[in-house]
């Protein structure tokens, strides 16, 4: 059988369509290091902001997605939606792999993809792993760290199971102690400032010796508050403690710069706000974990690549060990890469600003409609994210919230979700909230209509 090289399958053909967000303009391509989707974007949409401004601009962006037109999907926090052009390439690449399964690339192809998107996250080329999702990244790092009996791991009481699960393994398996920082919370009836959160972490760091790792969500899924990640990492560095951030919600929502945040590890999802395919994620390993080796200098081995097919290589970096995990889903990795390129072309800062603008509008409108409700994330620019959380009933009332959520979907076409969590660290009962995700494919009118629909359903209940 004749080998088909990547280059030989790299057939590109652009059909210039001028302004307008029709389907992707790429006829056929496969697994190239520079994204054909981004090329198509440049070909067709690069001057978009000269033609459109304000809401009209975002209306054009909305046309890049295949989301159903008669409903409004606002649960990106669970999973996103691939842009039309990414989806088209992904389908073509899947078909190509099915028709000619062998010779479509391997580890070096995926490594090149990872390299090509690194600068979009303020990372060096050898610091990014294209992972399966946030859970995968959290498990790879936590289960790989060489914890010993008595080590303290600091985390918060607002973490997701994707991080908590491997942390519990570390406790059971290695005898590490998990200490929850008492995260200050917002309820809509008090004030919360970034400094309150920093103080809580400082107190925890000062009151525990032998802290070996600090783990926190950049945006806890329960509240939607953006934590001051850079300041928290600064604090950890002062105590010689490495940091692992759960960034499930920031990748694709925020304009991230890992170098600036200066964490040691950052695990995020590609399938949520970045709108990549299912089971795609991004894992950042700072400088081959050099600082970890420095902070844990009392240990010969600090990290084991437990989920790798190249752990026995003495020359491989941690990034390449974690990237090499047997046969990969190359079309999915390409689709995530494509989506990242597209975000780069639109502008990651522009996307963040838009997401936060819609989120702020959502919080404003809700506050007007439901002045007495519980809110778990303040409308404060320092703490704002694309997630809005509200409970207009009693904190422990999941039944009414579920009815409200379902009626919003069935009667008005809005998909949002409920979350259940321990609001205060000492709580024994769960609190509940409705969680709304606003993204680049939403309009201000979507947000206003959602709040109106919520009010209408609420009054009728």
Ligand X SMILES: Cc1ncc(COP(=O)(O)O)c(C=O)c1O
Q: Please give the residues from 280 up to 339 whose contact with ligand X meets the rule CB under 6 A.
A: 281
What is the CB neighbour count within 10 angstroms for residue 431?
Answer: 22
Contact call for residues 224 and 387 (beta carbons, < 8 A): yes
Q: Which is nearer to ligand X, 239 or 417 (CB)?
A: 417
Q: Please give the residues from 61 up to 100 whose contact with ligand X meets the rule CB under 6 A.
A: 78
How many Å apart are CA 433 and CA 223, to the nearest integer? 9
Tell which residue, 332, 366, 336, 347, has the closest CA to residue 434: 366
Rounded to a whole number of angstroms, the minimum distance from the CB of residue 164 to ligand X is 9
Three-state DSSP class for residue 229: helix
Contact stretch for ligand X (CB under 6 A) within 36-44, 46-54, 96-104, 129-137? 129-137
Rounded to a whole number of angstroms, the minimum distance from the CB of residue 176 to ligand X is 20
Rounded to a whole number of angstroms, the minimum distance from the CB of residue 92 to ligand X is 25
Tell which residue, 383, 355, 360, 317, has the closest CA to residue 442: 355
Q: Which is nearer to ligand X, 155 or 308 (CB)?
A: 155
Contact stretch for ligand X (CB under 6 A) within 89-97, 120-128, 131-139, 178-186? 131-139
Q: Please identify which residue in 29, 85, 93, 135 interacts with ligand X, judged by CB under 6 A.
A: 135
Q: Which is nearer to ligand X, 33 or 79 (CB)?
A: 79
Q: Please identify which residue in 31, 201, 221, 295 interacts with ligand X, judged by CB under 6 A.
A: 221
Q: Which is nearer to ligand X, 83 or 220 (CB)?
A: 220
Contact stretch for ligand X (CB under 6 A) within 65-73, 128-136, 149-157, 255-263? 128-136
Q: Please identify which residue in 6, 30, 248, 342 interacts with ligand X, judged by CB under 6 A.
A: 248
Q: Please identify which residue in 88, 115, 160, 212 interacts with ligand X, judged by CB under 6 A.
A: 160
Segment 393-397 long-range contacts (CB within 8 Å, at least 24 positions apart): 395/423, 395/431, 395/432, 396/429, 396/430, 396/431, 396/432, 397/432
Contact call for residues 340 and 117 (beta carbons, < 8 A): yes
The 268-287 contact track toward ligand X, x by CB under 6 A, reads -x-----------x------
Contacts of 141 (CB under 8 A, 6+ apart): 244, 265, 267, 283, 285
Contact stretch for ligand X (CB under 6 A) within 15-23, 133-141, 194-202, 404-412? 133-141
* Residue 217 interacting with ligand X (CB under 6 A): yes
Q: Which is nearer to ligand X, 155 or 365 (CB)?
A: 155
Rounded to a whole number of angstroms, the minimum distance from the CB of residue 250 to ligand X is 10
E strand or H helix at 375, and its extent?
strand 374-375
Q: Which is nearer to ligand X, 251 or 440 (CB)?
A: 251
Q: Which is nearer to ligand X, 169 or 400 (CB)?
A: 169
* Residue 155 interacting with ligand X (CB under 6 A): no
6-38 as b/e: b if 16+ CB within 10 A: beebeeeeeeeeeeebeebbbeebbbbeebbbb
Contact stretch for ligand X (CB under 6 A) within 132-140, 145-153, 167-175, 428-436? 132-140
* Residue 133 interacting with ligand X (CB under 6 A): yes
Which DSSP letter does residue 145 get?
B
- In angstroms, what is the C-alpha Rg of the chain? 22
Rounded to a whole number of angstroms, the minimum distance from the CB of residue 224 to ligand X is 10
Rounded to a whole number of angstroms, the minimum distance from the CB of residue 316 to ligand X is 25
Three-state DSSP class for residue 345: helix
Q: What angle do CA 426, 215, 301 make, to 5 degrees?
A: 130
Q: Please identify which residue in 162, 188, 276, 324 interacts with ligand X, judged by CB under 6 A.
A: 162
Tell which residue, 7, 17, 103, has the closest CA to residue 64: 17
Q: Please identify which residue in 246, 264, 338, 446 interacts with ligand X, judged by CB under 6 A.
A: 246
- Across 169-316, the runs of DSSP E, i.e. the strands, are 177-181, 211-217, 243-247, 265-269, 281-285
Binding footprint of ligand X on the chain (CB under 6 A): 78, 133-135, 160, 162, 217, 221, 246, 248, 269, 281
């Amino acid at each position: 059988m004749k080998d088909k090289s990547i280059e030989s399958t790299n057939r590109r053909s652009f059909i210039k369509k001028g302004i307008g967000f029709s389907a992707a303009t790429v006829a056929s391509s496969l697994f190239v290091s520079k994204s054909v989707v981004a090329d198509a974007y440049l070909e067709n949409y690069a001057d978009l902001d000269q033609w459109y401004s304000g809401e009209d601009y975002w209306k054009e962006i909305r046309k890049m997605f295949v989301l159903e037109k008669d409903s409004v999907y606002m649960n990106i926090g669970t999973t996103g939606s691939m842009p039309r052009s990414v989806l088209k390439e992904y389908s073509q690449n899947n078909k190509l792999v099915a028709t000619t399964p062998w010779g479509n690339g391997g580890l070096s192809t995926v490594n090149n993809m990872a390299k090509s998107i690194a600068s979009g996250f303020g990372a060096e080329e050898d610091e990014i792993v294209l992972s399966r999702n946030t859970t995968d990244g959290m498990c790879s790092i936590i289960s790989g760290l060489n914890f010993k009996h008595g080590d303290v791991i600091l985390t918060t009481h607002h973490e997701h199971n994707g991080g908590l699960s491997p942390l519990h393994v570390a406790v059971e398996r290695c005898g590490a102690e998990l200490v929850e920082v008492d995260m200050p919370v917002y309820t809509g009836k008090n004030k919360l400032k970034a400094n309150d959160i920093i103080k809580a972490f400082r107190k925890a760091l000062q009151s525990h010796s032998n802290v070996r790792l600090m783990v926190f969500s950049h945006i806890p899924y329960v509240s939607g508050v953006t934590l001051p990640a850079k300041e928290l990492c600064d604090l950890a560095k002062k105590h010689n403690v490495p940091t692992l951030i759960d960034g499930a919600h920031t990748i694709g929502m925020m304009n991230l710069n890992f170098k600036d945040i200066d964490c040691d590890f950052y695990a995020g999802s590609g399938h949520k706000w970045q709108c990549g395919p299912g089971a795609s994620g991004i894992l950042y390993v700072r400088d081959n974990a050099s600082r970890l080796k420095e902070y844990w200098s009392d240990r010969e081995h600090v990290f084991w690549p437990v989920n790798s097919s190249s752990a026995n290589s003495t020359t491989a970096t941690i990034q390449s060990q974690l990237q090499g995990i047997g046969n990969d889903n190359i079309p999915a990795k390409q689709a995530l890469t494509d989506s990242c390129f597209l975000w780069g072309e639109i502008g990651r800062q522009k996307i963040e600003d838009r997401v936060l603008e819609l989120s702020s509008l959502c919080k404003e409108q809700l506050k007007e409609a439901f002045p007495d409700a519980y809110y778990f994330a303040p409308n404060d620019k320092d703490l704002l994210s694309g997630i809005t959380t509200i409970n207009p009933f009693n904190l422990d009332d999941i039944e009414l919230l579920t009815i409200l959520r379902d009626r919003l979907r069935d009667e008005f076409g809005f998909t949002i979700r409920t979350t259940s969590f321990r609001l205060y660290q000492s709580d024994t009962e769960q609190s509940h909230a409705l969680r709304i995700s606003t993204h680049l494919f939403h309009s201000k009118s979507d947000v206003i209509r959602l709040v109106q629909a919520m009010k209408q359903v609420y009054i009728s209940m």
